[in-house]
Amino acid sequence: MRIGITCYPTYGGSGVVATELGIELAALGHEVHFISYSPPFRLSGRDEGISYHEVPVSSYPLFEFPPYDLALASRMAEVAEFNELDLLHVHYAIPHSVSALLARQMLAVRGRRLPFVTTLHGTDITLVGLDRCYLPITRYAIQESDGVTSISNYLKEKTVEYFGVTRPIEVIGNFVNCDVYRPYKDEARKAEARKRLAAPEEAILMHLSNFRPVKRVVDAVKIFAQVERETPAQLVMVGDGPDRSAAEWLAHDLGIHSKVHFVGKLERVNEVLPLADILLMPSELESFGLAALEAMACKVPSLATRVGGVPELIDDGVTGLLYEVGDIGGMARGALSLLKDRERLHAMREAGRKTAQKRFCSTLVVPHYVNYYKQVLAWERD
């Protein structure tokens, strides 16, 4: 198949999933075309079978805000026509579904049908899409999509509840390449890599996100501060975003800034995650929890909040520990209990890896997308 993919190329779950999906589809022999304003950040150096098409956006004095959605629709139609795409797959409803709908209508005038699949990822439904400025058009674009998927049952239910969508929604969970995200095979290499972050007797806690307010990055620092008072430890903060400054200042004010390492955005997260003992995910809301899945595949259990689709991923007490939002003390005590009970920590690490392998490996999930594409194309022919 020839598949066009549009996503936000930034450091966030929807962009990561879309990019990894494109890479996996290309590995299976499909022709993949990314259409966006810049190349997805995880695409670098992995382009066999993949093409990237930039969306240029002109700025004129008349426009207070450049109309990216219109430029995207035009580029989608061009790429689809020139490369004879079979379908478009857009990730994050706003504005990508609307742009795909316009592209489909533009080509229909010339007698060419271009079906598109919309994947709902989270805040496009639970936050941005609920804004009255966007709700009617978001509902319409989802309803008019040729296929709709969501990354969790939670998000599917919220889409129906908030938008009154009547068309079927296929739940296809996020995935991880279990050959890429895995624990270190060589313990000596792991020990050497850990030395660059912590002393041998120190635990490593980690947080991975785009540092938006919904991720409650400051809570991760507060949790670590309580843990560090009881046991030698370091905190590694992977990512960047609007709340980084607040987290940095808090670490400074608490006198733990020398133990908190802000390493910024990393392309090869799979090389850092296996070094952690525990991942902290204290989010206000997660429609799935991709960072926790990537950690599980690396044999790193997560301390996370019991929100959204997280309970669909993490088996509380088996593959991780779940808490209420804002329960900083509880999460700190949970981390300390795991760090002190190495046998329990080991069991949780093993269970997490097995869950990732049995339910969320790309070899299991990506074929689900391929089969869904085939269904959509078959519907178009009927």
pLDDT in tens, 253-285: 999 999 999 999 888 899 999 999 999 999 999
pLDDT in tens, 20-39: 999 999 999 999 999 999 88
> Do the domains at 2-175+362-381 and 187-360 have one common CATH topology?
yes
Question: What is the distance of C-alpha 203 from the center of its chain?
Answer: 26
pLDDT in tens, 213-259: 999 999 999 999 999 999 999 999 999 999 999 999 999 999 999 99
Task: Give CA–CA dist 196/139, Å, rounded.
Answer: 49
- Amino acid letter, residue 131: D
Q: Say which DSSP state 41 is in.
A: G
DSSP assignment of 315-377 equals -BTTTEEEE-TT-HHHHHHHHHHHHH-HHHHHHHHHHHHHHIIIIIBHHHHHHHHHHHHHHHH
Band of the pLDDT at 128, cuts 50, 70, 90? Answer: low
pLDDT in tens, 143-193: 999 999 999 999 999 999 988 999 999 999 999 999 999 999 888 888 888
Average pLDDT for 78-97:
95
Average pLDDT for 349-377:
96
**pLDDT confidence of residue 132:** 74
Q: Which helix (H) or strand (E) holds 147?
A: strand 147-150
CATH 3.40.50.2000 fits 187-360, yes or no: yes
Band of the pLDDT at 194, cuts 50, 70, 90? Answer: confident
Task: Give CA–CA dist 362/24, Å, rounded.
Answer: 7
Quickly name the fold that domain 2-175+362-381 has.
Rossmann fold (3.40.50)
In the predicted structure, residue 45 carries a pLDDT above the cut 90: no
Q: Model-level pTM? A: 0.91
In the predicted structure, residue 100 carries a pLDDT above the cut 90: yes
Extents of the domains making up the chain: 2-175+362-381, 187-360
Band of the pLDDT at 332, cuts 50, 70, 90? Answer: very high
Q: Say which DSSP state 176 is in.
A: B
Average pLDDT for 319-335:
97
In the predicted structure, residue 13 carries a pLDDT above the cut 90: no
Pairing of strands 320-323, 302-305: parallel
